[in-house]
Amino acid sequence: MLKPNNRIIMHIDVNSAYLSWQAVYELQQGNKRDLREIPSVIGGSIADRRGIVLAKSIPAKAFKINTGEVLWEARQKCPDLVVVPPNYQLYMKCSKALHQLLKEFFPCIQRFSIDEFFLDYTGMSIHYGEPVETANRIKDRVKKELGFTVNIGIGHNKLMAKMAGEFKKPDRVHTLWQYEMKDKMWPLPVEELYMVGRKTMRKLKDLNIHTIGDLATTDVKLLEGKLKSFGHLIWMYANGIEESPVHNGGYIPMKGMGHSSTIKFDVEDRETAYKILLSLTESVALRLREANSCCGLVSVSIRNVELAHYSHQRKLFSPTNITNEIYQTVKELFDESWQGEKIRHLGVRIGELSSDEIHQISFFDGINQEKNRTLDGVIDGLRDKYGKASIIRGIFADGEIVPLLGGVGEDEYPMMGSIL
């Protein structure tokens, strides 16, 4: 039994999040199929040049379908593969529902990504019981009330909890205490250690380091000589050393947010580009207001048909979350940066986020600012109640461009304090 003053951290991770959330939504709408029980993936349309597997079901894994591979390759492996396009607004709503459920249990929660959370359970065993028992109750309640499953990892720090959560899936609770590390973590391939990517893995294997245990027992000076300070960092992780706190207050505010889209045709004229940028701005501004925030920085990114990429950004005179104000800056940035070549991909991103509780008014603000803010609020309410397609701008009525384009990236959430 653990002493109450021992640090106890839980990591909650949704199993196959995008696919699970879509499956639950379809079942709630009366669909008889369960995407989790058939070979299926979440992915973009090949015709729209977004043919990438974003998430896969467990049956799809049996066909060796991998996240990140192109859809035509996945279909070659499994001709009957069911492909469902991503629905990012749904994912955000499911993530919020999970966050609300967790808040009923604990005051100290940190959002790690759209489908991952950390909980600080330190000192709470006396009130709620042993951590494994509590984790199982949480897991079962998520399954019963929200319809999807989670893995929960438990350890003395965030690193160990996250590593534990990656053990056997789905719908499991695992521990990784310090005394379990040599048996449970050290035998794993070194690339399964958090922060060890493909490039680092190759460098480590050149040093004859193949497992996490090999890394943990390697002379740290050798690692620092080959990988600088990063070598010392991953050596600490291999030894279970990580002390970043679970940030209180619901979740860590995002540093920024953005939407981008690969277009299904080559964009050659300014007016079409404006239309796409307006659709992306609508999506970004909607999310900004949902987060009760304003932005102080706007950026536009362009990728041409030769796959060359460039971007341009600007600080605003005063923070805003008004769609028309953000779009005006987006158009100006595009005009200043576009080199006239054919465009394949466009993106709109905002940063320097702040609370929307106080609106700073500058000399340069438009005279219709309050009217536009009220209008945005009414439109947001209608879209939330009746769906995002319930009200659109007339410019999108021809159906050429989707009214709210783009997707959500997990990289928009800051990661663990010292782990970065």
H helices, E strands: number in the chain: 14, 13
| Contact call for residues 404 and 388 (beta carbons, < 8 A) | yes
The domain boundary residue, chosen from 238, 271, 302:
238
Same domain, 172 and 107: yes
Same domain, 20 and 75: yes
| Contact call for residues 266 and 344 (beta carbons, < 8 A) | yes
Same domain, 137 and 193: no
Residue 71 included in any domain: yes
The domain boundary residue, chosen from 120, 150, 184:
184
CATH number assigned to the domain comprising residue 348:
3.30.1490.100
Same domain, 368 and 269: yes
Same domain, 143 and 274: no
Tens-digit pLDDT string for the chain (420 aa): 444 447 899 999 999 888 999 999 999 888 889 999 999 998 876 554 456 788 889 899 889 998 877 788 888 899 999 998 888 778 888 988 999 899 887 888 888 878 889 999 888 888 888 999 999 999 999 999 999 999 999 999 999 999 999 999 889 999 999 999 999 999 999 999 988 887 888 899 999 999 999 999 999 999 988 888 888 999 999 999 988 888 764 444 556 788 888 787 889 999 999 999 999 999 899 888 887 888 989 999 998 888 788 889 998 888 899 999 999 999 999 999 999 999 988 999 998 888 776 555 544 445 567 788 888 888 888 777 777 677 878 888 777 787 887 654 333 333 333 332
- Whole-number Å distance between alpha carbons of 10 and 61: 27
According to the model, what pLDDT value does residue 264 have? 77
Long-range contacts of the stretch 74-78 (C-beta < 8 A, 24+): 74/41, 74/43, 78/39
For the four alpha carbons of 28, 95, 106 and 13, in that order, the dihedral sign comes to positive
Same domain, 198 and 292: no
For residue 281, what are its two tokens? 């701005």
The domain boundary residue, chosen from 238, 273, 303:
238
- Whole-number Å distance between alpha carbons of 341 and 356: 38
According to the model, what pLDDT value does residue 161 have? 94
Residue 251 included in any domain: no
Same domain, 201 and 323: no
Residue 334 included in any domain: yes
- Whole-number Å distance between alpha carbons of 400 and 213: 55
Catalytic-residue membership of 116: yes
| Contact call for residues 338 and 346 (beta carbons, < 8 A) | no
| Catalytic hit among 69, 73, 116, 325 | 116
Same domain, 178 and 200: no
Same domain, 262 and 382: yes
Amino acid, single-letter form, for residue 357:
E
- Whole-number Å distance between alpha carbons of 115 and 160: 18
Residue 249 included in any domain: no
Residue 195 included in any domain: yes
According to the model, what pLDDT value does residue 265 have? 82
Range of the domain at 374: 256-412
Angle (CA) 190 193 197, round 5°: 80
Same domain, 83 and 199: no
Q: For the chain, what is the domain count?
A: 3
For residue 249, what are its two tokens? 């207050």
Residue 279 included in any domain: yes
CATH number assigned to the domain comprising residue 28:
3.30.70.270
CATH number assigned to the domain comprising residue 203:
1.10.150.20
Residue 273 included in any domain: yes
Residue 373 included in any domain: yes
- Whole-number Å distance between alpha carbons of 416 and 166: 17
Same domain, 175 and 227: no
- Whole-number Å distance between alpha carbons of 259 and 255: 14
Same domain, 163 and 137: yes
According to the model, what pLDDT value does residue 306 have? 81
